[in-house]
A and B are shown apart, each in its own frame.
Chain A
Amino acid sequence: GAGVSQSPSNKVTEKGKDVELRCDPISGHTALYWYRQRLGQGLEFLIYFQGNSAPDKSGLPSDRFSAERTGESVSTLTIQRTQQEDSAVYLCASSPNRRTNYGYTFGSGTRLTVV
């Protein structure tokens, strides 16, 4: 597609439920990234994909968080047993490859609210 697409744009969920957030990167971009942005704070790196592999998962805050990517395209970030502290905007970005991180393009994010 023309840009990075994320869905849903907003999600309200009850504490303890699982949620799935989706990212469709720019076609042909091999690198994909997930970030979390808490209110008034900077973006926190969560995970990086090169193709369908995730060589760096170091930013995932707990084992309740997982992500996968298929077909070197769509990625899903899953949060299990959501907690109120998970409330944030989750941003996805893609780039043509990791060596040049030029062409880094963000989606509009998914605003997650855990009540």
Chain B
Amino acid sequence: KNQVEQSPQSLIILEGKNCTLQCNYTVSPFSNLRWYKQDTGRGPVSLTIMTFSENTKSNGRYTATLDADTKQSSLHITASQLSDSASYICVVSPRMDSSYKLIFGSGTRLLVRP
């Protein structure tokens, strides 16, 4: 069964600190891997998208990495802000005809405290 596993489930950090969220997946072959941010009561919003041939992608203070050999990805948040408090979801898009059926991790809930 295709799976996307994220860790930790939840994380609390102080404002200004950095953090790294992890994603392991078994989806194979895959087309792309995304990280989404989901604020409470809102739909997920895309942060980064990486194809299987890319190994890093940045979006402001967010940097995602991808190791297709070990099937691992991470999302690094630099100089965290209170507004970073949200769930961060790792999503893998299978290759081939089922590419529309994104496979979602359960997310990491991040709380940034002042």
Q: A48's contact among B41, B89, B100, by CB below 8 Å, is which?
A: B100
Q: Say whether A107 faces chain B, with CB atoms less than 8 Å apart.
A: yes
Q: B4's contact among A42, A93, A98, A104, by CB below 8 Å, is which?
A: A42
Q: A40's contact among B4, B43, B99, B106, by CB below 8 Å, is which?
A: B106
A108 touches B42 (CB 8 A): yes
Contacts of A102 in B (CB 8 A): 49
The smallest beta-carbon distance between A42 and chain B, in angstroms, is: 4
- What are 5 sample pairs from A and B whose C-beta atoms fall under 8 A apart? A4-B43, A42-B107, A43-B104, A99-B99, A106-B43
The smallest beta-carbon distance between A30 and chain B, in angstroms, is: 11
Contacts of A101 in B (CB 8 A): 31-32, 93, 99-100, 102
B44 touches A106 (CB 8 A): yes
Nearest B residue to A10, CB-CB: B41
Contacts of A106 in B (CB 8 A): 43-45
The answer to whether residues A48 and B106 also contact, given A101-B93, A107-B43 and a CB cut-off of 8 A, is: no
Q: How far is it, in angstroms, between the C-alpha of A111 and the C-alpha of B89 when the chains are bound?
A: 19
Q: Say whether B46 faces chain A, with CB atoms less than 8 Å apart.
A: yes
Contacts of B100 in A (CB 8 A): 31, 33, 48, 56, 95, 98, 101
Q: How far is it, in angstroms, between the C-alpha of A101 and the C-alpha of B43 when the chains are bound?
A: 17
Contact with B along A76-115 (1 / 0, CB 8 A): 0000000000000001010100110110101111010000
Nearest A residue to B49, CB-CB: A102
The smallest beta-carbon distance between A44 and chain B, in angstroms, is: 8
Q: How far is it, in angstroms, between the C-alpha of A102 and the C-alpha of B107 when the chains are bound?
A: 20
Contacts of A42 in B (CB 8 A): 4, 89, 104-107
| Complex A-B, nearest 6 residue pairs according to Cβ-Cβ distance, in ascending order | A106-B43, A42-B104, A43-B104, A42-B106, A98-B100, A108-B43
